[in-house]
Copies of this chain bind each other. A is one copy, B any other.
Amino acid sequence: MSRPRTTSGPARDAGRDPAPWTAFGGDLHLDLGERRAAGAGLRAALEDALREAVQDGRLAPGTRLPSSRALGEDLGIARNTVVEAYGQLTAEGWLSSRQGSGTTVAERAAPRPAGRAVEVRAGVRPTGRHDLLAGRPDLSLFPRSAWLASARRALAVAPHEAFDYGSPLGRIELRRALSDYLARVRGVRTDPDRLLVCAGFGQGLGLLAAALRERGAGRVAVEAYGLPPQRDALRAAGLGLAPLPLDCSGARTDLLAELSGSRSAEREAGRLGAVLLTPAHQFPTGAALAAERRAAAVHWAREYDGYVIEDDYDGEFRYDRQPLGAMQALDPDRVVYGGTAAKSLAPGLRLAWLALPDELVGPVARLKASADTMSPVLDQLTFAELITSGRYDRHVRRCRLHYRHRRDRLVTALAERAPRVKVTGIAAGLHAVLQLPPGSSPEPELMDRARAAGLVLTGLGWYLTEHTPAPDAAPSLVVGYATPAEHAFPAAVDALCEVLRTA
């Protein structure tokens, strides 16, 4: 369709009467000649020329075509070639052939409308010179050579059946590798039969939400601050949200029993079926969930037949002390562990995993099967190879050093240039929360100023669950210090400090 036209007959002006064959026939010689010069066979060239003419309206519906004999003579080609071309286009529905009335352009062949398609902006982020939006790694760290080396090895050894439809849980090679890796690095207690590979933690959360809904859950408790798309996913599954306040020990899981409420409250608001937590590093405020809060959540889950969903989105990135083990290990029958390669490798891989309690393996796997059969196999095989070869460990170590260095540079710059700003949540992860001193501009104004300076980031308020009264806390910015590429980091920090200096 993008081929330039060789003719410019009057029929192409919109709103005019369709031109008869004669307005087109004269150009056909030239068109055919060009197509043949470009290497097309004679019959194919004729078919293409006629098909395109019908498609773009040069040959209007109802136009009567010359007989095959006449067109053959006209073009100096065998009549049979024309007969075959007419036959093909008739079979495709472009032309109509009726005994006695010859060949005409079919009535239903509507020309392609010229308008532009709807622009789809979902998933496209705001743009600016200095990208400090939290939630993404430095994409320039993606280990392209290591990935390719692992892909080569994975393609070399994969059995043919690996390319087939398979288990909704995902490829066994990856589930084995992950089971060992997660036990070693995060203390997760699972095995390959309880792991499910999914297309990002977002998909995993959606599947869990649907499974909980099927099992009678009406509500899920969420942290008062969290990712809006996660709350959307829960709501989309028909679940209500019950926000949990946060303090310096993390989410107030001690309130879960109260939130579950009495039987009558349950009937009204729906049974509280799960709590979604970010225990290693609360997103975005940054607190680690204290031991007694972990215990309270697991205790609640046991007492109320609920589940804890542990979103371990950046558990591999803890800088100043040993990582806290996953809370899943406290009770693998009550805690669903969710991990992802979005921070350690790249969001574009859409690779995440759930370690599931026995009771949820079947329901979640069935939902995954009906959503998309299973996750694609080649990335799974490659990632498995990356892990078992030790390349993944080396890559994560390298990233950890890189991000710690980034964090330290940010903290140093802020201490020098915006000393009244309090930096929190930086023991782990890829982002910091910058709390401004009393008397600073309110968050929306701050955001306007940041935008004007070319900064892409969010205020803490953006993460607040609706229906939770906003705390009278100072305005705060959430800064993803891992996001910019290395060369862009100093300028981004400069711009940030400048905005904070005048806030």
Q: Chain A interface (Cβ within 8 Å of chain B)?
A: 1-2, 51, 55, 88, 90-94, 96, 106-110, 112-113, 115-120, 122-125, 136, 139-140, 142, 144, 147-148, 151-152, 155-156, 160-169, 180, 183, 187, 189, 191, 193-194, 199-200, 202-203, 206, 232-233, 236, 288, 290-291, 294-295, 298-299, 302, 322, 324-325, 327, 329-333, 346-351, 358-359, 361-362, 365-366, 369-379, 485
Contacts and interface: CB of A to CB of B under 8 A. Distances in A.
Contact of A110 (B290, B331, B370): B331
Given A299-B108, A358-B118, A93 B373 contact: no
Given A92-B325, A377-B349, A358 B164 contact: no
Contacts of A291: 90-93, 96, 106
Given A347-B163, A366-B122, A295 B376 contact: no
A189 B1 contact: yes
Contact of A348 (B107, B125, B162, B294): B162
Q: Name which of A110, A122, A187, A366 has the most chain B CB atoms within 10 A of its CB.
A: A122
Given A122-B365, A168-B120, A163 B109 contact: no
Given A108-B298, A299-B108, A330-B109, A125 B371 contact: no
A383 to B, nearest CB: 11
Nearest to A119: B193
A222 to B, nearest CB: 17
A112 B190 CA distance: 9
A371 B124 contact: no
Nearest to A236: B370
Contacts of A51: 187, 325, 329
B377 A348 contact: yes
Nearest to A183: B1
A376 B373 contact: no
Given A1-B189, A92-B325, A370-B232, A194 B347 contact: no
Nearest to A375: B350
Given A147-B155, A148-B155, A203-B371, 12 more contacts: A92-B325, A92-B329, A93-B295, A93-B327, A120-B167, A120-B169, A123-B168, A123-B373, A124-B166, A348-B377, A350-B372, A372-B372
Given A51-B187, A93-B294, A330-B108, A123 B348 contact: no
A201 to B, nearest CB: 10
A65 B199 CA distance: 43
Contact of A187 (B92, B110, B371, B376): B92
